[in-house]
Amino acid sequence: MANVYFSHELIREKINSMLDTKVSMSQFMHSDDSLTAEAGMKIKIQKYVANDNIKDVAEGEGNEDFSEVDYTEEEYEVVTTQGRTHWTDEAAMRNPIVVDTLLQGQAENMVNNLNRKAISEMGKATKAVECDFTTSTARYFFNKVVDALAEINASNEDESGYTLLVSPNQQGYIRKQLGEDLRYVEDYVRTGYIGHVCGVPVVVSKAVPDSACYLVNPNAITYFAKKGVETETDRDKNKRENIVYIRKVGLVALTDENYIAMLAKPQTDNVVITKPSNGAVKVAGTCGQDVFKVVVTIGSKSYTAKAANGTWEVAVDAVATGNKINAIGYAVGLAPKAATEITV
């Protein structure tokens, strides 16, 4: 059998075609190709929330306050994601399907990598409804979806463009729970689609953990790309070995928490506030090992603490006797948990 040569252009077309057929989280994210930072550089992503100062005013009256924008800032690193594969001419001649199989694997691995990063960012959602994916009470899950939509509506009052992403293990439970509430819409075509509930399409993805599912709009998550997926080929003529690299440069970030809510199992560990003394300028405490941040509220002011190894600490304005301190711990893929309020 004669040797079959695969040109760089043919390999690139094959990989791009294979990427298009995969269940990618990219369809549930916003893409931004304006990234200018290089791989290895760190950039700060700001997550904005505008407060509401809309009110009815009588003749001669006006607003006392301006609408302001609050934001939190998180640092992300721009990364190069790369895979490579190879085959010999002899292997391709023995079994021509080996090339497509190897390229298919590369495409799947690239998509799965993006999916895992997207789901990890979705797991940082602050809007959440506690959900046990084993409860058999009638319409339990339906009511949880209604509650999650209410969390969304509290911010933007627009339910359009949302998808409920669930795991394969949740799929059977959801189908049994929803029964006739899970409606199939013929003109909605998506890989992994199993029906609509409350007007929201339900899509199954292996990237979703069993501890949570996500009600998400593409405005919530952004994929910042330096450029599209690129391919590069090389050949060792002496050994008749063909090498293919596939890579992309970018990052995935949760950029607008108003457009996502998760239905998730509760945290098992308590969030605890260590009572500070009068005049203290730091508040600290303990939490579960999986908690990544704790939001502390003292009066009308909020402070965000990074949590690590089950502890957290944040600088605050000097506390005073009588101040009430609250704290909520956030863990990826688990419902937020509030600490018991303390009084200084």
pLDDT at residue 217 is higher than 90: yes
**Nearest 5 degrees, angle CA 11-CA 15-CA 17?**
115
Residue 66 lies in a domain: no
CATH of the domain at 278: 2.60.40.10
Whether residues 231 and 324 share a domain: the answer is no
Q: What integer is the mean pLDDT of 168-192?
A: 80
pLDDT at residue 15 is higher than 50: yes
Residue 113: other Cβ atoms inside 10 A: 17
47 versus 4: the higher-pLDDT residue is: 47
Whether residues 32 and 175 share a domain: the answer is no
Whether residues 111 and 234 share a domain: the answer is yes
Question: What are the helix (H) ranges across the chain?
Answer: 8-20, 89-94, 97-122, 140-153, 168-178
Whether residues 161 and 277 share a domain: the answer is no
pLDDT at residue 310 is higher than 90: yes
Q: pLDDT-derived band of residue 281, with 50, 70 and 90 as boundaries?
A: very high
Residue 60 lies in a domain: no
Which structure tokens are listed for 338? 């509030």
The C-alpha atoms of residue 114 and residue 112 are separated, in whole angstroms, by 5
Whether residues 214 and 227 share a domain: the answer is no
Whether residues 85 and 133 share a domain: the answer is no
Give the number of C-alpha atoms closer than 13 A to the C-alpha of residue 172, restricted to the C-beta side. 4
Query: What residues form DSSP beta bridges with 264?
Result: 130, 212
The C-alpha atoms of residue 302 and residue 38 are separated, in whole angstroms, by 34
Query: Which of 63-77, 158-172, 182-196 shows the highest mean pLDDT?
Result: 158-172
The values of phi and psi at residue 25, to 5°, are -70, -10
Whether residues 300 and 237 share a domain: the answer is no
Q: What integer is the mean pLDDT of 133-146?
A: 92
> Do the Cβ atoms of 290 and 317 come closer than 8 Å?
no
- The domain in which residue 168 lies consists of 128-219+257-264
Whether residues 329 and 204 share a domain: the answer is no
Lowest mean pLDDT among 43-47, 121-125, 256-260, 301-305: 43-47
Q: pLDDT-derived band of residue 48, with 50, 70 and 90 as boundaries?
A: low
322: enclosing H helix or E strand: none
Residue 63 lies in a domain: no
The C-alpha atoms of residue 302 and residue 155 are separated, in whole angstroms, by 18
- Supply the pLDDT for residue 190: 62
Residue 58 lies in a domain: no
Residue 59 lies in a domain: no
Burial profile 290-315: b = 16 or more Cβ within 10 angstroms, e = fewer: bbebbbbebeeeebebebeeebbebe
Whether residues 243 and 276 share a domain: the answer is no
Q: pLDDT-derived band of residue 53, with 50, 70 and 90 as boundaries?
A: low
Residue 61 lies in a domain: no
Q: Is 222 helix (H, G, I), strand (E, B) or coil?
A: strand
188 versus 105: the higher-pLDDT residue is: 105
Q: What integer is the mean pLDDT of 163-174?
A: 93
Whether residues 134 and 28 share a domain: the answer is no
CA dihedral 307→309→310→313, nearest 10 degrees, is -40
**Nearest 5 degrees, angle CA 70-CA 75-CA 76?**
130
How remote is the C-alpha of 159 from its chain's centroid? 18
- Supply the pLDDT for residue 265: 95
Burial profile 212-247: b = 16 or more Cβ within 10 angstroms, e = fewer: bbbbbbbbbbbbbbbeebebeeebeeeeeebebebb
Nearest Cα to Cα of residue 307 among 327, 322, 329 = 329
Across the chain, mean pLDDT equals 85
Nearest Cα to Cα of residue 314 among 325, 323, 306, 322 = 306
pLDDT digits (tens, 9 = 90+) for 85-131: 999 999 988 988 888 888 888 888 888 888 899 999 999 999 999 99
Which structure tokens are listed for 158? 């627009």
- Supply the pLDDT for residue 173: 92
**Total structural domains within the chain:** 3
pLDDT at residue 2 is higher than 50: no
CATH of the domain at 196: 3.30.2320.10
pLDDT at residue 50 is higher than 60: no
pLDDT at residue 7 is higher than 80: no
Whether residues 173 and 138 share a domain: the answer is yes
- Supply the pLDDT for residue 121: 94
